[in-house]
């Protein structure tokens, strides 16, 4: 094991899959000559050449559609959106074409395509560049969605996504690109299955369900709560669709209290679906109401102080945990 950044882990995953399968290629804005807007594709152009590391015009709808067509004829495209907020320009391709082609062709065409890039709020990017898109895409039948929080998960999930015969979205958290974590060496295959959550910290008093950039927030709060004799279990979803219900249910059955912290908006959010599934399947295990900590239901302000007020934070999460624990 060695410590590398989230960015380096993604870069390794791309390089390993490009090396393993000649049908894999990377395409997007500035992924080649500029090495990616966030330097995730650093060095790949020099190693694999311009036929497999392809710069595109600023036309998300165009290159997303090109990637879907390439996937239909046997290639395995990796499409990078400079931010998933800009994937909304390609919404027709990602929602209407990629997930429906297999069914509408009577099984004649698989679409083994990976859409990846930074998702969710970062820092003072204002309303149009701060969208958390997981609830949009997870609601679409035929799309798989994952949101890794650690370098190891980022590498393992991206490699699995590239090998999947269905369209997969890998939602990377921009604020985590420079974060560090332990990852297996390149000579050891790292594949993490979609649909498998991970308990990042064991606890007994409350389950904090989280994903992506809310995971480090939850871990920080758990350490703080421990000083007040509240033991929080941290469940990192990793994969939003398919969702690992069993790991969530097992945690809730142990702690009997739940707080969900998420980076998207509350209305129709990921947390709302998890709330429904918990109360539908293991309602009797609950000793308190389920609470959610999410973005406020407003467009993201540019102002730094207002942005902090809108986002989930430690104070909001601590308050929610104490409320469900009657502390």
Q: Is residue 12 flagged as an active site residue?
A: no
Query: What six digits make up the tokens of 291?
Result: 């609470």
CA dihedral 233, 238, 243, 246 (to 10 degrees): -30
Q: How far apart are CA 285 and CA 283, in angstroms?
A: 5
Beta strands in the chain (DSSP E): 2-5, 24-28, 53-55, 76-80, 114-119, 144-146, 168-173, 180-183, 198-201, 206-210, 232-236, 239-241, 258-261, 291-293
Catalytic residue among 35, 129, 256, 265: 129
Catalytic residue selected from 17, 29, 60, 262: 60
Q: For residue 172, what are the β-bridge partners?
A: 118
Q: CA–CA separation, 39 vs 2, rounded Å?
A: 20
* Close Cβ partners of 136 (under 8 Å, ≥ 6 residues apart): 88, 91
Which residues have C-beta within 8 Å of that of residue 22, sequence separation ≥ 6? none
Whole-number Å distance between alpha carbons of 186 and 190? 8
Largest CA distance in the chain: 60
Rounded to whole angstroms, the Cα distance separating 92 from 183 reads 36
Q: Measured between alpha carbons, how far is 245 from 250 in angstroms, rounded to an integer?
A: 9
Q: Is 60 a catalytic site residue?
A: yes
Which residues are known to be catalytic? Answer: 60, 129
């Amino acid at each position: 094991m060695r410590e590398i950044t989230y960015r380096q882990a993604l870069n390794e995953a791309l390089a390993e899959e490009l090396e393993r399968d000649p049908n894999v290629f990377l395409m997007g804005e500035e992924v080649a000559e500029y090495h990616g807007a966030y330097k995730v594709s650093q060095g790949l152009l020099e190693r694999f050449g311009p036929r497999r590391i392809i710069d595109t015009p600023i036309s998300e709808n165009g290159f997303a559609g090109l990637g879907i067509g390439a996937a239909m004829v046997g290639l395995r495209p990796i499409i990078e959106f400079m931010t998933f907020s800009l994937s909304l320009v390609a919404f027709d391709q990602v929602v209407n074409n990629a997930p429906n082609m297999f069914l509408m062709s009577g099984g004649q065409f698989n679409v083994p395509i990976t859409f990846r890039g930074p998702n969710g709020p970062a820092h003072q990017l204002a309303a149009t560049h701060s969208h958390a898109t997981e609830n949009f895409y997870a609601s679409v039948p035929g799309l798989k969605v994952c949101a890794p929080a650690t370098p190891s998960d980022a590498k393992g999930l991206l490699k699995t996504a590239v090998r999947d015969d269905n369209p997969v979205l890998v939602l990377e958290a921009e604020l985590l690109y420079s974060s560090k974590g332990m990852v297996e060496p390149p000579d050891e295959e790292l594949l993490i299955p979609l649909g498998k959550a991970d308990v990042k910290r064991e606890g007994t008093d409350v389950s904090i369900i989280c994903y992506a950039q809310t995971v480090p927030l939850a871990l920080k709060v758990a350490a703080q709560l421990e000083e007040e004799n509240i033991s929080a279990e941290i469940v990192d979803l990793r994969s939003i669709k398919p969702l690992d219900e069993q790991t969530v249910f097992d945690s809730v059955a142990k702690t009997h209290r739940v707080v969900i912290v998420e980076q998207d908006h509350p209305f129709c959010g990921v947390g709302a679906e998890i709330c429904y599934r918990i109360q539908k399947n293991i309602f009797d295990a609950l000793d308190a109401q389920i609470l959610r900590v999410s973005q406020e239901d407003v467009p993201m302000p540019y102002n730094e102080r207002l942005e902090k007020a809108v986002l989930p934070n430690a104070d909001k999460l601590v308050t929610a945990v104490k409320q469900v624990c009657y502390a």
